Structure 1
């Protein structure tokens, strides 16, 4: 999906998000882990 894109994204794209993200683990109101379909885990603290 990403290979077919031209340039940078300028706004959120539901289709790309859903194609990449398997689920989101919510650890607290400000602490999340995005689990990608590739198995990669991305931790985000706000």
Structure 2
């Protein structure tokens, strides 16, 4: 996965497939959001595209 965009408190991540995007969103979203907020407290939402 890679960061495709970060703007206005929203991060868009690009996943290699829809399956990976759905899996990460379902199982790891809270951990990802916490990690991003640790680096940039302005981040409020993460969207994963695949």
Q: Rg: which structure is higher? A: 1
Q: Same fold (TM over 0.5)?
A: no
Larger relative contact order (CA 8 Å, sep ≥ 6): 2
Which structure: greater helix fraction?
2
Which structure: greater strand fraction?
1
Using structure 1 for the length normalisation, give the TM-score.
0.30
Using structure 2 for the length normalisation, give the TM-score.
0.29
